[in-house]
Every structure is written in C-alpha cells, then in structure tokens.
C-alpha cells in the first residue's frame, strides 16, 4: 500500500508583524497518519483548527530556522496542548532549538501554577522535547524521510555554527515536497530539490525590499529569493510545481518573472490551500 503525503499551507505570510489576509508562516505535512508541522508562525493554532487539526494532533514540529516569524506561534501551540493534557511533542530544529524550548517552558510556569489548581497538570517539561540537528537525514520511519541542508539565509552574518538555517525535503511513497525555508540563492537547496514534485519557495520582491528600513534591505536582497531566482532554482532542480509561500504579494509581473525561467506549474500559495 502506497503512503500518501498531503501538504496544507496553514500560513503563507513572511516577516515579523501581523498581516491582514495571511497568517504567519506554517505548513502541515500529513503522511502515514502523522501530522508534521513545518514552522509555527503567528496564528498557527487558529489555522490548525481551520484545517481540521486539533493542537493535540500535531506529531512533530520541524523548524527551518529560529527567526521569530517562524516560531511565534509555538508557545501558544504548546500551552494549549498542555492545558488540554496533550501527548508529548518533539520540536526538531537547528542549533538554538533547545534554548527556545527552555524559554517556552519558562513561559508556561505561570499558567501551570494557576490551572494546576483546577486539576492536576503534568510537568510541562515532560511534554516538550527539543532535538537539535545537523544537515542530513533528520527524521525517518516507514512512511517518510526528511532531509535537511543548510541554506544561505545567514550568508551576510557569521554565527560560527551557533545559528543555522535549513531547507527541508520530505520523501514518501515516491512523492517529494521541498521547503526552501528562508534563503538566498543556494546550490545546496537546488540539489536538495532535484526532481521534487512540489517546491514550496519563499519569495521577496523589490517592493518588499523597498518597504523595510534601510538597514534591512541588504538582507532582503541577498538572503531571500527574488522572483527570477525562484524560477531559476525551480528550473535547475527540474521540479514539477512551484508553490509560493512566505511572500507578501505575487502580482502578474512577479509570476511572469518566474515563468520566464521555469516552464512548470506555478501556484501563488494561499492560507489553507491543500496540495
């Protein structure tokens, strides 16, 4: 029996702050009866509910990197899961993930002290585990294999290994889904995406770069992908479909710029889209 793998775009907005029509960046991969969350941006709990997934149904969280727009929804997910007596949750991510776990546990202390009076609550430390991983296979079972490579989101800043940013590839039953994560141009990500059915790619336009404070513009242009770069990566990797996520807007000119480089299917991702 072939395992099916399904992608739900929970939130497609990138960057800090709220967005009127998009939730923060988060995706749900459903495979072999497991529900795996990729990143956990703002409003992830609400978006899971819209997708028909309770907070306790999430099996594992994979973080591409630890920028706040990718992690801000994780404390809410964990505290509600704890209050509802959910099962243990494992968060897998780059170096720094364990410190993030410790911060979430500190956040939970006050709520635990109050709600614990209403009835016994388990020690939250027993319900949240963190596993820091290096590039390579980061998860594997009979249903799915997940592989990570380091991308170029931190190309302008050297953290001496203290912080890293990953792209992720899911392989299951002959189908593959790749998440670029936040990245600039990256041969490693192109190789990871080779032959993928779906490439979930971030995108930053010139309008996006112009809208941020001047000190951030170099980061926006060097450590994110332009529409043309998205198209070139997709073409070089020979993927079947590009799905845009972690973007502000995809106007006709942006989609045309991708299409000039890439002849496959291009989808401007929207919240709660299933693929």
Q: Do the beta carbons of residue 65 and residue 164 sit within 8 Å?
A: yes
Looking at residue 105, its pLDDT comes to: 95
Band of residue 230 on the pLDDT scale cut at 50, 70, 90: very high
More confident residue, 231 or 113: 231
Cα–Cα distance for residue pair 254/204, rounded to 1 Å: 10
Q: How far apart are CA 155 and CA 223, in angstroms?
A: 6
Domains of the chain: 5-274 (3.60.15.10)
Phi, psi of 125 (to 5 degrees): -65, -20
Strand partners, 27: 9, 38
pLDDT at 1 over 60: no
* pLDDT above 80: residue 74: yes
Identify the pLDDT of residue 2.
Answer: 60
What is the per-residue pLDDT across 78-131, written as a single tens digit (0 to 9) for each? 999 999 988 999 999 999 999 999 999 999 999 998 887 776 788 889 999 999
Q: What average pLDDT score do residues 131-160 get?
A: 95
Q: Which residues, including other chains, have CB under 8 Å from residue 249's CB and lie 6 or more apart?
A: 205, 207
Structure pTM? 0.96
Tokens of 78: 């964990």
Query: What share of the chain has pLDDT > 70, as a percent?
Result: 99
Q: Is 252 helix (H, G, I), strand (E, B) or coil?
A: helix
Residue 60 has pLDDT above 90, yes or no: yes
Residue 214 or residue 153, greater confidence? 153
């Amino acid at each position: 029996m072939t395992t099916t793998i399904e992608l739900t775009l929970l939130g497609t907005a990138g960057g800090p702050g709220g967005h009127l029509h998009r939730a923060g960046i988060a995706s749900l991969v459903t495979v072999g009866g497991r529900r795996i969350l990729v990143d956990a941006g703002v409003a992830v709990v609400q978006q899971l509910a819209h997708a028909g997934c309770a907070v306790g149904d999430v099996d594992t969280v994979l973080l591409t990197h630890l920028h706040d727009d990718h992690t801000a929804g994780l404390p809410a997910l964990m505290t509600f899961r704890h209050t509802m007596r959910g099962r243990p949750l494992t968060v897998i991510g780059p170096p720094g993930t364990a410190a993030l776990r410790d911060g979430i546990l500190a956040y939970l202390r006050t709520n635990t002290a109050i709600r614990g009076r209403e009835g016994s609550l388990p020690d939250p430390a027993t319900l949240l585990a963190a596993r820091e991983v290096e590039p390579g296979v980061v998860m594997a079972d009979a249903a799915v294999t997940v592989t990570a490579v380091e991308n170029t989101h931190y190309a302008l800043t050297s953290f001496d290994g203290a912080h890293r940013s990953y792209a992720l590839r899911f392989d299951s039953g002959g189908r593959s889904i790749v998440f670029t994560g936040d990245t600039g141009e990256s041969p490693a990500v192109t190789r990871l995406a080779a032959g993928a059915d779906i490439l979930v790619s971030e995108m930053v336009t010139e309008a996006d770069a112009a809208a941020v404070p001047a000190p951030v513009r170099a980061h926006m242009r060097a450590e994110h992908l332009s529409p043309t770069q998205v198209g070139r990566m997709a073409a070089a990797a020979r993927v079947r479909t590009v799905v845009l996520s972690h973007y502000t807007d995809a106007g006709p000119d942006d989609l045309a710029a991708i299409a000039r480089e890439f002849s496959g299917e291009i989808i401007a991702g929207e919240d709660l889209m299933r693929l």
